[in-house]
Amino acid sequence: MAVSNALVGCPKLETLLNLSSTSTLQTPLGLIGVPRNNNRTRRGLIHRARCELSPSDSATISALEQLKNSAPDRYTKERSSIVVIGLSIHTAPVEMREKLAIPEAEWPRAIGELCGLNHIEEAAVLSTCNRMEIYVLALSQHRGVKEVTEWMSKTSGIPVSEICQHRFLLYNKDATQHIFEVSAGLDSLVLGEGQILAQVKQVVKVGQGVNGFGRNISGLFKHAITVGKRVRTETNIAAGAVSVSSAAVELALMKLPESSLASARMLIIGAGKMGKLVIKHLVAKGCNKMVVVNRSEERVTAIREEIPGVEITYRPLDEMLASAAEADVVFTSTASESPLFLKEHVETLPPASPEIGGVRLFVDISVPRNVGSCVNEVETARVYNVDDLKEVVAANKEDRLRKAMEAQTIIAEESNQFEAWRDSLETVPTIKKLRAYAERIRMAELEKCMSKMGDDINKKTTRAVDDLSRGIVNRFLHGPMQHLRCDGSDSRTLSETLENMHALNRMYGLEKDILEEKLKAMTSGQQK
């Protein structure tokens, strides 16, 4: 049997739970001791049982029959949950987030490892300077969260207990609303900032073709992109400071004496996307002279050509400390995994200009941080990182709340549409299995018919009989198929469609086939 073969040779071998009870399940799968009414535990054991069968067992045991005794009705009808396990600037300090951060190049590997966990079917990683969030499609909410949290602990070196203190958990509709708010910029320090929408787009781009970035999670992120675009268009939420870079510039200018804004010497370390945005926002604020330290000169030259009329001086990386000695404000935005500035580096620098009070400002918008917190111990230096940008966002609160309320109306509407789309996907396995069921009957009856007609029948007649049988089956299936198709846009139609699906599943016993297909897909995905 197909399920029996699919269950053999799974690389994950786990010890089955031994739960004491007077009402137990008598099956060869080793599920003895599990109460028949304990569906949650039994659901997990269904998943684990496939790893317990040996090739010899599969020859004598009908795996599907045993799964029938293990509440498959609940297993097939209970939809997997979308879960987000996350830590953000609102819940966790930067020290923890930088340990959990996963570089974009490692996202496919992370997805593969997450989908290798027992109760995770699909996954995606959203890792930015302000958040580290893992989105999964989980067979079991509790077990899925436990497995992902343990994986995060293993990859970061942070104890599970510490992660649990700072993480947040959201399920299904709440998870959907959260990623929509994130994409719209409502969860960012700078309301409506555009960089997060670009990062959500990058999740989809990187996930294309990655095994585990499946239909539900990819659909969620694609819909989030649509929501982000719509919110920005309809509410003008992106007006004003729209990125971490612009907030960093505003913070620096807030800390400088007003009289020194024109004369303050600016240094930008790193000419990547963030560094380039810092330069543009400085220019927008009236700064037309600055020094840029970067590994290579090409990017600085390109920025200089893009922003004519601004004096941008290039310095190589080995002149970083010398350049910092001549600067009043230092912006850092590099991908360095170790700090560029520590206490011993900064305490040897001369004081900043008297016009700004002799205190040099370090505005670090990198994760991991480029400037160590120990620099704050130097009397002539002040360090600000991404967590300090909250001060900038405190302005225009009423306007932010008004636009956020407008955005929430859009998000609620889009969330309902996404949930309806997910509901409409429920009928897909039934459609496939109903067609397969009808095709098996057609082929069996066609074979009987052809055998009765003898060996003398010509090809033309054979083809005509085959076409006739196909036509009858297609006509017969047309009605049921029409009542199983729904785009999810109408809640009444969707409800009727799901009722039709359950009725057909009961009438033709399709639950067993759907369960078999699900187990085969899960086993195949874990063996890759």
Place of tokens 């994130």: 182
Burial class (CB in 10 A: 0-12, 13-18, 19+), 477: middle
Terminal Cα distance for the chain, rounded: 22
With beta carbons less than 8 A apart as the criterion, state whether 274 and 389 touch. Answer: no
DSSP H helices, 71-167, are 72-77, 94-100, 107-115, 141-156, 160-166
User: Across-strand partners of 83?
Assistant: 136, 171
Say which residues have a Cβ less than 8 Å from residue 101's Cβ, sequence separation at least 6. Answer: 127, 132, 367, 368
The position carrying tokens 């077990």 is 143
Measured distance CA(247)–CA(236) in Å, rounded: 18
DSSP 306-349: HSTTSEEEEEEGGGHHHHHHT-SEEEE----SS-SB-HHHHTTS
Q: Tell me the C-alpha distance between 246 and 226, whole Å.
A: 24
388, 356 in Cβ contact below 8 A? no
Distance between CA atoms of residues 187 and 91, nearest Å: 12
Task: Give long-range contacts, CB 8 A cutoff, 24+ apart: 305-312.
Answer: 307/279, 307/280, 307/283, 310/279, 310/283, 312/279
CB atoms within 10 A of CB 289: 14
Residue 47, SS3 per DSSP: helix
129 has catalytic annotation: yes
- What distance in Å separates the CA atoms of residue 137 and residue 500, rounded to the nearest whole number? 25
Q: Catalytic residue among 10, 115, 129, 486, which?
A: 129
Query: Facing residues of 280 across strands?
Result: none
Catalogue the active-site residues.
Answer: 129
